[in-house]
Amino acid sequence: MYDFEGAHGEGAGGGPSRALTLLEPARWSVEYGASRLLELLPAERGLGEDRPVLVLPGFSAHDALTGRLRAHLRRRGWHVHGWGLGANHGLTEAIVSGLPARFTELSEHHGQPISVVGWSFGGLLARWLAHEHPEAVRQVVCLGSPWRAEGERTRATALFERSRVKHGIVENAREIVDRLRGPVPVPLSAVWSRSDGVVPWRGCVVDESDHPPAENVEVVSSHVGLVANPVVLRVVTDRLSADPARWRPYAASVPGACAAQVGAPTPAGAR
C-alpha cells in the first residue's frame, strides 16, 4: 500500500521473500489451469439465489483479471458485477468518487444488500464501502488484503508510489485508510496465504473478536492466484452462501483451506 510513514516508518518491512515473489507467475498458471478443470465438474446451480455480488480488483488490475472468480460465482447462481472503473490505480479521484457511485447504482438496482469481494487492495476498498454504507453491504470477503499498518510495506509499495506520481491521490487518502482499518460493521471473512508472494500475510489477518463476526480463512495460494485458485473459489462460494443473520464460522470442509486461529500480529520484519 502507500508508504504513508516513509521508508523507516511503521510497517517498513519489504514484504514476502523474493523467492515467493518470483514464483508468482508460475504458481498462478497452475492455479488458473486447475480452476478451469474444476469447471468441468457439475456445479451446484442456484446456490446464490440471484443475490448481488460486487467484485473489486487488486492494485493495477481490472475486471478482466477477476473474470475467473466472477464466472465461477455466476455459474452457481449469484448476480455478479465487476466494478467497471478500469484499472485500479488506488485512491485516485476517479476511484474515490466512482466506486461509491457504482455501488449506489447497483444497490438501487437490486434493492437488497450487496456482498462485496475484494482482492488485495480491492479488499481495502471493500472495507471502506462497508464503513460508508453498512446498511447496504451484506458481507465482505477480502482476498489477500493487507489492511493493517504492519502490511503497509509490500512488494507492490513501489508501484503505489509510482502510481501516486502518475495518477494522483485524493487529499484525504490517509483519512480513508484510517477509517477502513477500523472494525468492519458487517460480517467479514479474510482469506489469506502464508505463501503469498506480494503482501505480508500478517497484515491481512483480522481480529476475530470484532463484532459483527470477523474470521480468518487460511489457504495455500499465490497472491495473483487468489482470484483463480480452485480452493479459494470454493471458500468464497461457501462464505457467500452463509446467512449473515445466522452466521456460522467457516468449517474446514475444503481441502487446502482451514479456519485459521491467529493471535496478535507480530511487528513488521519479525517474519
Domain carrying residue 221: 18-259
Q: Which residues contact 134 (CB under 8 A, 6 or more apart)?
A: 185, 186
Distances in Å between the Cα of 133 and the Cα atoms of 55, 59, 103, 127, 164 are 16, 22, 9, 10, 26
Burial status of residue 256 (CB atoms within 10 A of its CB: 0-12, 13-18, 19 or more) = middle
* 267 within some domain: no
pLDDT at 252 (0 to 100): 63
Q: What is the pLDDT of residues 35-56, one digit of tens each?
A: 998 888 887 888 999 999 999 9
**Amino acid letter at 227?**
V
Instruction: Say whether 138 sits in a helix, a strand or coil.
Output: strand
Instruction: Give residue 3's pLDDT band: very low, low, confident or very high (50, 70, 90).
Output: low
pTM score, whole prediction: 0.88
| 164 in any annotated domain | yes
For residues 224 and 69, the answer to whether their CB atoms sit within 8 Å is no
Number of domains observed in the structure of the chain: 1
Provide the strand spans (E) within the chain.
Answer: 52-56, 79-81, 114-119, 137-143, 188-192, 214-219, 257-259
In a domain, 134, yes or no: yes
Residue 257's pLDDT is 66
The amino acid sitting at 140 is V
Q: What is the pLDDT of residues 85-119, one digit of tens each?
A: 999 999 999 999 999 999 999 999 999 999 999 99
Return the CATH number at 96.
3.40.50.1820
Asked if residue 13 is part of any domain, the answer here is: no
pLDDT at residue number 7:
52
Residue 11 confidence (pLDDT) above 50: no
- pLDDT tens digits, 51-67: 999 999 999 999 999 99
* Length, in residues, of the chain: 271
* Overall average pLDDT of the 121-127 stretch: 97
Is position 264 within any domain? no
pLDDT of residue 122: 98
**Single-letter code of the amino acid located at 164:** R
Q: How far is CA 76 from the centre of its chain?
A: 20
Structural domain includes residue 11: no
